[in-house]
């Protein structure tokens, strides 16, 4: 099942996608809800981000090849994480499928995509085992962890490197039928594939992360975890369009602009 | 004016404190609202956290003496920040005035308080000057940035060190009449003062942080910024009570327990 969140009459509503139609739902996928019977063509609604979480979790470093590529660029030895320490991103930076990534005027040319699986929590999780963990997941969507590399290397925190307004495209929807092992992530810039990897080839998997996190914190319905990216990344610039496709979910597509 | 958020009949409402009474308000201080005329004794309501932000900002390192004390403990040279890079904390960890800080079972004894000024945003802020910045602030409340120091030193991120459930007490209310220069922060453990400092003696002040942040991100009504703590900090343990008092605002008080 595919959940979308869309703008309609000035407020955001959830809906369920069926073919090229959307059925409106009152309530949210994270609480009580019911189908209203109202249907629209999918092309007639403006997509919003599928959710705004209570807490925005991000694994950050979670694929070996990405760690090795990043270390090689800096002339350092790769430093693989030895445990599933979760990080954070910021809700101010979220934008929907189709909305523009706006590079700040004083950013360098080192602004890069990172295509990521996003896991959406559907049930409260506290002290859950790895075996139980996936039963707390409502579904999956797609994120683009846009990053300014000189700020990432030089600032004390990741605030503007990762969380400048518009640096976190997410969508287009939440897919509840998913099979992690069969997923492949493909990133395209202007239609040309620039990165491709097995989505589940993570250093620490989704179930392990959820179980470890839940030892110290409560995951709430509507929280989400961005799972990291693999491989090398390249610069994007004004006029580009970045697509992140994950098989079984869909494609997140965003144009790129630069602030004047 | 003092805004509280309180539990009443299963849901959270805002109210305005007047003496020992609360007047109920429909809506929130961050949007349309009106006084309902319903009044309760302040002692009859259960306080909630005064807000749950879209994004939870935290300056982290923002007082010289605190940097020097922390460096001395590690046998390092103090490394003072050279610009106002903002960090983050996580909403899952928020608890209200009076609720217990629960130390995880496997934490060391190195769990410590950090008493902090919390600045609450009332108006949208994007590209604001330092002169304009304080006009975007609704008011101030108080935070306790509880920290497990061995996890803070050893994990890749601050996730469980700073954001274990219950590690972010905040409250008791938002005070809209404030004078930063006249504020003093006093932290007490079991009634005994353990730390005392001029609240506004920051490396980077409130207006500077807001102005710098707003160059890259939009501050939204209901966002908040925790401004950091000064001086040395000490361990707290089960059975203790930690009070953070900031003159002109009030006192945030929380008991400490340990998970079994």
Q: Domain ranges in chain A?
A: 1-48, 49-258
pLDDT at B76 over 90: no
Q: How confident is the model over B129-147, as a mean pLDDT?
A: 98
* Chain B: closest CA distance from residue A173 (Å): 21
How far is Cα B214 from Cα B202, in angstroms, rounded to an integer? 19
Q: Which of A159, A213, A217 is nearest residue B85 as measured by Cβ atoms?
A: A159
The answer to whether the Cβ–Cβ distance between A165 and B81 falls below 8 Å is no
Q: What is the pLDDT of residue A96?
A: 98
pLDDT at A74 over 90: no
In this predicted structure, what is the pLDDT of residue A23?
A: 96
Among chain A residues, CA nearest to B87:
A157
CB B35 within 8 A of CB B18: no
- Are B160 and A217 inside 8 Å of each other by CB? yes
Q: Are A220 and B88 in contact (CB < 8 Å)?
A: no
Give the per-residue pLDDT at B38: 93
The B residues from 150 to 169 touching A (CB cutoff 8 Å) are 155-157, 159-160, 163-165
**Min CA distance, A254 vs chain B (Å)?**
19
Mean pLDDT of A92-114: 98
Cα angle A137, A143, A147 (rounded to 5 degrees) comes to 135
B217 touches chain A (CB under 8 A): yes
Question: What is the least distance, in Å, from the CA of B106 to any CA of chain A?
Answer: 10
**CB-CB under 8 Å, A156 with B218:** no
Smallest CA–CA separation between B174 and chain A, in Å?
21
* Other Cβ atoms closer than 10 A to A18: 12
- B75 pLDDT tier (thresholds 50, 70, 90): confident
Q: Would you call A103 exposed, middle or buried from its count of C-beta atoms within 10 A (0-12, 13-18, 19+)?
A: buried
Residue B169 tokens read as: 């007490």
Shortest CA distance from B84: residue in chain A: A156
Q: Rounded to whole angstroms, what are the CA distances from B114 to A94, A104, B102, B234, B245?
A: 30, 34, 16, 9, 12
> A157 and B104 in contact by Cβ < 8 A?
no
Q: What is the CATH number of domain B50-258?
A: 3.90.850.10
Q: What pLDDT score was predicted for residue B69?
A: 85
Interface contact A217-B86, CB threshold 8 A: no
pLDDT of residue A70: 82
- Beta carbons of B87 and A55 less than 8 Å apart: no
pLDDT over 90 percentage in chain A: 91
Separation between Cα atoms, residue B82 and residue B260, nearest integer Å: 42
Contacts of B204 (CB under 8 A, 6+ apart): B59, B62, B81, B83, B84, B212
For testing contact with chain B, the best of A62, A156, A226 (most B CBs within 10 A): A156
B165: nearest CB among A93, A164, A216: A216
Q: What is the mean pLDDT of residues A232-258?
A: 97
The two domains A1-48 and A49-258 share their CATH topology (first three levels equal): no
Task: Pick the residue from chain A with its C-alpha nearest to B151.
Answer: A85
Asked if pLDDT for residue B175 goes beyond 90, the answer is: yes
Share of chain B above pLDDT 70, in %: 100
pLDDT at residue B138 in the model: 98
> What is A49-258's CATH number, 3.30.1330.40, 3.90.850.10, 3.30.420.10, 3.10.690.10?
3.90.850.10
Which of the pair, A76 or B134, is modelled with greater confidence? Answer: B134
Mean pLDDT of chain A, nearest integer: 96
At B239 the pLDDT is 98
The answer to whether residue A19 scores a pLDDT higher than 80 is: yes
* Inter-chain touch B91–A55, beta carbons under 8 Å: yes
Rg over CA atoms, chain A: 18
pLDDT confidence band for B107 (50 / 70 / 90):
very high
- Report d(CA B139, CA A73) in Å as an integer: 45
Give whole-number Cα distances, B39 to B11, B14, B17, B46, B98, in Å.
17, 12, 10, 14, 22
For A1-48, the fitting CATH number among 1.20.1250.20, 1.10.357.10, 2.30.30.370, 1.10.10.10 is 2.30.30.370
**pLDDT tens column, A37-51:** 999 999 989 999 999
pLDDT tens digits along A113-162: 999 999 999 999 999 999 999 999 999 999 999 999 999 999 999 999 99
State the alpha helices, DSSP H only, in B13-155. 64-74, 130-133, 149-154
Confidence of residue A108 (pLDDT cuts 50, 70, 90): very high
Token readout for A238 is: 């004004």
The 8-class DSSP code of residue A125 comes to: B
* Nearest C-alpha neighbor of A88 from the set B157, B224, B147, B162: B157
State residue A260's pLDDT score.
84
């Amino acid at each position: 099942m595919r959940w979308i969140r869309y703008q309609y009459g000035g407020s955001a509503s959830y809906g369920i996608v069926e073919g090229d139609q959307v059925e409106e739902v009152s309530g949210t996928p994270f609480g009580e809800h019911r189908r209203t019977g109202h249907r629209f063509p999918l092309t007639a609604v403006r997509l919003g981000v599928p959710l705004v979480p209570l807490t925005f979790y991000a694994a950050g470093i979670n694929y070996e090849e990405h760690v090795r590529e990043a270390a090689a660029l800096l002339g350092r030895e790769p430093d693989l994480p030895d445990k599933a320490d979760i990080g954070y991103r910021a809700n101010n930076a979220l934008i929907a499928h189709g909305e523009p990534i706006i590079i700040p005027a004083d950013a360098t040319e080192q602004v890069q995509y990172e295509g990521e699986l996003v896991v959406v929590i559907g049930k409260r999780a506290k002290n859950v085992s790895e075996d139980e963990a996936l039963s707390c997941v409502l579904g999956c969507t797609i994120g683009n962890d846009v990053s300014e590399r000189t700020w990432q290397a030089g600032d004390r925190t990741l605030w503007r490197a990762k969380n400048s307004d518009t640096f976190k495209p997410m969508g287009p929807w939440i897919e509840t039928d998913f099979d992690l092992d069969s997923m492949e992530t493909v990133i395209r810039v202007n239609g040309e594939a620039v990165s491709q990897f097995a989505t589940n080839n993570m250093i620490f998997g989704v179930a392990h992360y959820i179980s470890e996190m839940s030892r110290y914190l409560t995951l709430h319905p509507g929280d989400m975890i961005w799972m990291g990216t693999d491989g090398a990344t390249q610069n994007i610039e004004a006029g580009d369009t970045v697509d992140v496709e994950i098989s079984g979910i869909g494609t997140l597509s965003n144009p790129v602009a630069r602030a004047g």
